[in-house]
């Protein structure tokens, strides 16, 4: 089983619908992240959390919200989905030495979201 | 201006060839540098860190030029399995900034 699991892996929805993407990890890491990937733009940070009580906005948080339900779970919500939120979404984790120090993030397999 | 810029490629090379590509970054205060590898429709994975003095990991060599604000990756003796997109990553303050990637295709 993967250390970082994302559900759903693929989702097609309509404009205005509420969508939740879920992420769970078995690595025991405190730090969790949500990124989106668009062709030609690279990965962009949406939100990050350094522990259960810590939630921070990333570069592109507008239109998104998150919930850190437990150390192992970090979910991303689109309250009212719009077509330009069509993208590949990745959840990632790191330990305290990861991220800036070792550069090592552990990614889930991605959730492909299409908003019609 | 993007924080991290890469030539998207693709770089099409025969097996056994050497391929090299660069990445430029805009923030001169950037602290750490890395290369990630992403296979088609898969998640990114850390390939290697980039040290100021340059470093090798098998057939892969990474270089950093702080004065000109670029990092490079060189792959020697290319294998079919090296076909992937290579993401340049720069660490600043609280986050990692990812380039859009350089695609390398190794042909038989």
Contact at CB, A48 and B96, closer than 8 angstroms: no
Looking at per-residue confidence, does B30 or A20 come out higher? A20
Average pLDDT taken over every residue of chain A: 93
Reply yes or no on whether the pLDDT at B43 is more than 80: yes
pLDDT at A26 over 70: yes
- With 90 as the cut, is the pLDDT of residue A100 above it? no
In the structure, what pLDDT confidence band is assigned to residue B41 with cuts at 50, 70 and 90? confident
B-interface mutation test, from A25, A36, A43, A98, most B Cβ less than 10 A away: A43
**What does the H/E/C string look like for chain A?**
CCCEEEECCEEEECCCCCEEEEEEECCCCCEEEEEEEECCCEEEEEEEEEECCEEEECCCCCCCEEEEEECCEEEEEECCCCHHHCEEEEEEEECCCCCCCCCCCEECCCEEEEEC
The answer to whether the CB atoms of B98 and A101 lie below 8 A apart is no
pLDDT at position B2 over 90: no
């Amino acid at each position: 089983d993967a250390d970082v699991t994302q559900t759903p892996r693929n989702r097609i929805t309509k404009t205005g619908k509420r969508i939740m993407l879920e992420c769970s990890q078995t690595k025991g890491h405190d730090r969790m992240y949500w990124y989106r990937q668009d062709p030609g733009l690279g990965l962009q940070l949406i939100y990050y959390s350094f522990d259960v009580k810590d939630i921070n906005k990333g570069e592109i948080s507008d239109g998104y919200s998150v919930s850190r339900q437990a150390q192992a779970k970090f979910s991303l919500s689109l309250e009212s989905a719009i077509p330009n939120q069509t993208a590949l979404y990745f959840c990632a984790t790191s330990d305290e030495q990861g991220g800036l120090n070792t550069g090592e993030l552990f990614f889930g397999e991605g959730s492909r979201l299409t908003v019609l | 201006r993007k924080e991290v810029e890469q030539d998207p490629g693709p770089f099409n090379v025969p097996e056994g060839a050497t391929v090299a590509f660069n990445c430029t970054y805009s923030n001169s205060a950037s602290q750490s540098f890395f290369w990630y590898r992403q296979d088609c429709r898969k998640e990114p994975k850390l390939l290697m860190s980039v040290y100021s003095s340059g470093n090798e990991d098998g057939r892969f060599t990474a270089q950093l030029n702080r004065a000109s604000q670029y990092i490079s990756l060189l792959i020697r003796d290319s294998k079919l399995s090296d076909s992937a997109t290579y993401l340049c990553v720069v660490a600043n303050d609280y986050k990692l900034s990812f380039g859009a990637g350089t695609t390398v295709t190794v042909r038989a």
